[in-house]
Amino acid sequence: MSDDKPPSRSFFQRIVDIFHSEPQDRQQLVEVLRVATDDKLIKTDSLAMMEGVLQVAEMQVRDIMIPRSQMNVIHENASLQEILPIVSETRHSRYPVVGENRDDIEGIMLAKELLTYAFDDGEKNNFDIKDILRPAYIIPESKRLDILLTEFRSKRNHMAIVVDEYGCVSGLVTIEDVLEQIVGDIEDEFDIDEEESNIKLHSNGEYIIKAQTDIEDFNERLGSDFSDQEFDTIGGLLVNKFGHMPERDETITMGDFKFTVLNADQRRVHLLRVKPLAQEQILS
């Protein structure tokens, strides 16, 4: 007698029950997928991605875009000496280039295009940002994310400028922002592996820190004296200081440190960049 058992009758019966009546909707499909996961036919990670795909099909760009106020932009008249510190501080791969204001989008600058000018003394004097600008991809706030993802792939774009119904810039969105709705947070070069310490020191003297780091561990490593009477983690302390759930690239000074949010969602902060103020004063 074989030990291999077919999927339980309940699984098939529940599928029949779900699809027996009309109408069939997204929630019914999700229920089928969850039943399949319970019966070990689909892995939990696969279920999460499938639900993410279904969610993306119902979301619009306005739901995930980086707001206008938090956009890191480069001005078209900025010199190379003015641009390099911005790129070094914010560490993005692409930047909108603007004219008189943020509604005047001139194009997109790729940070890697600066390498030739930054390391070639002969080229520094010839720098003109207009020589390296790429056309901006403009989209409305109402565009669905699944359509945007398809367009990102077909047009080979990685960033889009979002405008409202009046044509004013309301934010920007990247292909990574869309993909994260499906697969979860995508780690970048500033993220810390699960196996590593919660606190990672970079060569420039800045720290990359998981928000879940205990305040006690933070104090011990960085020589601070933050109280852990009300909050256990540095992330909890930081959110309380902000007074709201901060978004990516928001900064705040707390004690002797400048904190920058590197990764956050609607529920909690995940990753922080921490710069000792003494170091910032030395550099200024």
Mean pLDDT, 10 residues at a time, the chain of 284 residues:
48 50 58 69 68 76 87 92 87 92 94 83 77 94 92 91 92 89 59 62 83 92 91 90 86 94 76 83 48
> Hey, which CATH number is domain 62-183, 3.20.20.140, 3.40.50.720, 3.10.580.10, 3.40.50.740?
3.10.580.10
List the structure tokens of 182: 């499906």
What does the DSSP 8-state code read for residue 28? Answer: H
The answer to whether 198 and 192 have CB atoms below 8 angstroms apart is yes
pLDDT score at 47: 63
Give how far Cα 3 sits from Cα of 7, 8, 9, 42, 184, Å: 13, 14, 17, 21, 37
pTM: 0.56
Residue 249: per-residue pLDDT: 82
Phi and psi, residue 97, nearest 5°: -110, 125
Instruction: Calculate the alpha carbon distances from 49 to 181, 185, 220, 279 in Å.
Output: 9, 12, 39, 42
DSSP 8-state class, residue 151 = H
List the one residue out of 184, 190, 178 whose CA is nearest residue 92. Answer: 190
Q: What pLDDT score was predicted for residue 30?
A: 64
Greatest CA separation for the chain: 82
What was the pLDDT predicted at 244? 85
Token digits of residue 164: 């409202």
* pLDDT at residue number 259: 95
The pLDDT assigned to 195 comes to: 44
How many residues in the chain?
284
Q: Check: CB of residue 206 under 8 Å from CB of residue 199.
A: no
Tell me how far apart the alpha carbons of residues 190 and 210 are, in angstroms, rounded to a whole number.
Answer: 11
Token pair belonging to 200: 């990672």
- Distance CA(18)–CA(247), nearest Å, equals 39
Question: Has domain 199-283 been given CATH number 3.30.465.10?
Answer: yes
